[in-house]
Amino acid sequence: MFDNKLFQQDLTTTWLGQELILLEEIDSTNNYAKKIEKAVPGTVILAEDQITGKGQYKKIWTSEPGKNLTFSIVFTPTKADRISLLTLACASAIEDVVCKYFDDCSIDLKWPNDVICDGKKISGLLTEVIHNGNKIDRVIVGIGLNVNQEKFEGELSDTATAMKAISGKEESREKLLCDLLVRIEYNYQRWVNSSIDLIKEINPKLQGYGDWITLEVNGKPLSDKNKFLGMNELGSLQVLNKELGVDTFSYEQIRVLVD
């Protein structure tokens, strides 16, 4: 069972995670976060067992109870533009922290919201914007990070991995969450401040960055390859086409297929 007392003792963030809601079982931490009437900015909802966790493109996120970190963060920005950049800012924070736990592991980011370790998915994110009339009420970033799970069933055995599966070591989920929130808080502030350095830091981490890749737009692969230029300052994906023109896409439109 997640030790909330130990977590609170180790947490060094200024505001992120200072309000922690710990749940034994829930359908989705994102769904729970949507229903909080007046959420404190930086509230974290953590579930030991998330029954119907969601991923991008309506995929299901499955996780062994009590082994991993499945949580949602409530942000309250004044504007909710550059959401794809916020998602990848959180993903980049996850990569930075996870890298510190391994001596030798290849970790990168898959557009728009996955963290890949040695070719397998170790973490996924789902960001949702909640409105109150015409105003932004909150932005919820749901995160699943495979920590101490050793086996994955079915097709996940070929596509998913966990920290323990790589290192062979049991990790403290409390310490790991503290480390993650410190880095996410830092990246979030850079996102709020429209830091160019944040984009420069994320782009080289993206799978296919600088390569000629295949794009899938609205579910259909493009016949011609495009050179992946990464994100611009608005968080949109940019590619160089064969005519040497630059095309820009929102993350909802496009998937990057890396050979």
Report the phi/psi class of residue 101: left, alpha or beta, with left for phi > 0 and alpha for psi in -120 to 50.
Answer: alpha
Q: How confident is the model at residue 151 (pLDDT cuts 50, 70, 90)?
A: confident
Q: What is the pTM of this model?
A: 0.93
Residue 40: what pLDDT? 94
Summary mean pLDDT of the chain: 92
Beta bridge partners of 131: 136
Lowest pLDDT segment from 2-11, 213-222, 239-248: 213-222
Structure confidence by residue, pLDDT tens digits, 76-117: 999 888 999 999 999 999 999 999 988 777 899 999 999 999
4-203 classified as CATH 3.30.930.10? yes
* pLDDT tens-digit series, residues 128-143: 999 988 889 999 999 9
Domain borders along the chain are 4-203, 208-257
Domain 208-257 maps to which CATH number in 3.10.110.10, 3.40.50.720, 2.30.30.100, 3.30.1490.20? 2.30.30.100
pLDDT of amino acid 57: 46
Q: Between 83-100 and 173-192, two packed helices, what is the crossing angle to 10 degrees?
A: 140
